[in-house]
Amino acid sequence: MSDAEKQPNIVFILADDLGWADLSVYGQTQYQTPHLDALAAGGVRFTQAYANSAVCSATRFGLITGRYQYRLRGGLEEPLVRTAHLHGLPTDHPTLPSLLRDAGYETALIGKWHLGNLPNYGPLKSGYNRFFGNYGGAIDYFTHKPGVGAAVPRDLYEGEVPVERVGYYTQLLADEASSWIAQQAEEKPFFLSLHFTAPHWPWVGPEDEHVSRDLTDLFHYDGGNLHTYAKMVRSLDAAVGQVVQALKAKGVFDNTIVIFTSDNGGERFSKTWPFTGQKTELLEGGIRVPTLLSWPARLQPQVSEQVTITMDWLPTLLSAAGTAPHPDYPSDGENILPVLQGQAPVHERRLFWRYKAQRQRAAREGRFKYLRINDNEFLFDVEDDTLERANLKDQHPAVFARLRQAWEDWNAQFLPITDEVFTHGVTPDIQADRYAPERANRGL
């Protein structure tokens, strides 16, 4: 059977808090990312790819369900850690891995879950046959703990059983993924979600174990620098190269769809030029993400200007596998495979975002983007004005009014954000917003 007749394998690689220009193929000049650059050269590099949210777990709800995350209580806001024992991905909701498993795929998640904690939620309850990784949002790269101190348990699991490993987490995930790929049967396609925590804080490089020992707070405001961040991204790049090599060694690279993207924009050390904004912000730097796709058997190398968003991957990958979303849970995303295969032209999209809806909301249609930050409203041409500096709402009042109303109509379909979302089950120390100081400095 030729590659064109076989179901493709799928490896979905998700970086954590990676900025738009943190890869050299997207504009980084202070260091190189040769493995990801090679993936881009042989595949599709997207120039207008967006994350479903400006924060982690919300985007992951969009990815795994193929729908706007605001349909589910767990997807409303961040950080989910506040109520992860109460709210998460419902186990009866069809997911990308469960639908692929039903289509004959072996499925695994290696890395970050962040969609609800045990005992109520978890990867093995939502379509994955195997899981190795962390349930929460962030862990130290060497201690594998979500906090500091001897009494803090490790957030590292094999399935639903805590385990211990020695090593830098990015490398551990690459080793686990490479080993799992090598073990897969030739006659059955596989779907691997490889969700790194890099380059999410704490700011620790692969040779910085001493930094982990000295930390008093994983979010350390007084830590990190551009040099350390570069080491973290280069380690991520090498890990991706290792996984690609594992696919080639097994002889399945050509008929494997490899996707690399980020869950949201970058944080304090990221490069987001030519955009402004960062994680937690609906400016382009907070939601526009580097995105690469490789499928040598079926797709020609290209640079795609198609506007796309995280939730598009569910219908796109299901289509490539010869199946479709569950009819009772239609995707809010779109199958972009015909565009990539040259069977359909690039077309306009209308996409929406909200983040603490009273504070930030956004809508994009064609070249225009409606943005509200607190009580300030804007209309930007994000194709010509990538820095979002020229407010065009008075020059194009009809476009401004249309997108403003479109956002209201869209928002009315989803679960509201109430005070309970931020306070239910929250202790005062957890309720404190870690990002408040940085947002305050940016006027948000």
pLDDT per residue as tens digits for the range 305-331: 999 999 999 999 999 999 999 999 999
Tokens of 398: 């009809």
Q: pLDDT value at position 430?
A: 34
Positions in the chain short of pLDDT 70: 1-4, 77-84, 421-444
Query: Is the distance from CB of 355 to CB of 54 less than 8 angstroms?
Result: yes
Same domain (yes/no): 333, 407: no
Peptide bond into 274 cis (omega under 30): yes
Cα separation of the two ends of the chain: 56
Q: pLDDT value at position 87?
A: 85
Same domain (yes/no): 127, 167: yes
Alpha-carbon span 377 to 402, nearest angstrom: 13
Same domain (yes/no): 303, 434: no
**Out of 56, 144, 195, 200, which one is annotated catalytic?**
56
Query: Is the distance from CB of 205 to CB of 228 less than 8 angstroms?
Result: yes
Q: Sign of the C-alpha dihedral, residues 239, 245, 250, 253?
A: positive
Q: pLDDT value at position 358?
A: 73
On whether residue 414 sits in a domain, the answer given is yes
Domain final position from 340, 369, 397:
340
Cβ-Cβ contacts under 8 Å for 194 (sequence gap 6 or more): 11, 12, 13, 14, 110, 111, 173, 177, 243
Q: pLDDT value at position 417?
A: 79
On whether residue 345 sits in a domain, the answer given is no
On whether residue 381 sits in a domain, the answer given is yes
Q: pLDDT value at position 180?
A: 98
Same domain (yes/no): 120, 183: yes
Same domain (yes/no): 82, 136: yes
Q: Note the residue count of the chain.
A: 444
Alpha-carbon span 444 to 441, nearest angstrom: 8
How many other C-beta atoms are found inside a 10 Å radius of the C-beta of residue 244? 23
Same domain (yes/no): 7, 87: yes
Domain final position from 295, 317, 340:
340
What burial class does residue 58 get, using C-beta atoms within 10 Å of its C-beta: 0-12 exposed, 13-18 middle, 19+ buried?
buried
Q: Sign of the C-alpha dihedral, residues 113, 115, 120, 122?
A: negative
Q: pLDDT value at position 154?
A: 95
pLDDT in tens, 398-443: 999 999 999 999 999 999 877 776 554 443 333 344 455 455 455 5
Provide the whole-model pTM: 0.94
Domain containing 243: what range?
Answer: 3-340
The CATH number of residue 437's host domain is: 3.30.1120.10
Domain final position from 290, 309, 340:
340
SS3 437: helix
Q: pLDDT value at position 81?
A: 54
Cβ-Cβ contacts under 8 Å for 78 (sequence gap 6 or more): 53, 55, 56, 57, 58, 280
**Out of 35, 87, 114, 195, which one is annotated catalytic?**
114
Q: What is the mean pLDDT of the chain?
A: 92
Residue 396 catalytic? no
Same domain (yes/no): 126, 264: yes
Q: pLDDT value at position 80?
A: 56
Same domain (yes/no): 319, 396: no
Residue 85 catalytic? no
Q: pLDDT value at position 438?
A: 53
Same domain (yes/no): 354, 234: no
Q: How many domains does the chain have?
A: 2
On whether residue 37 sits in a domain, the answer given is yes
How many other C-beta atoms are found inside a 10 Å radius of the C-beta of residue 110? 26
The CATH number of residue 38's host domain is: 3.40.720.10
Same domain (yes/no): 219, 254: yes
Alpha-carbon span 227 to 231, nearest angstrom: 6
Same domain (yes/no): 207, 288: yes
Same domain (yes/no): 324, 393: no
The position carrying tokens 């995707």 is 331
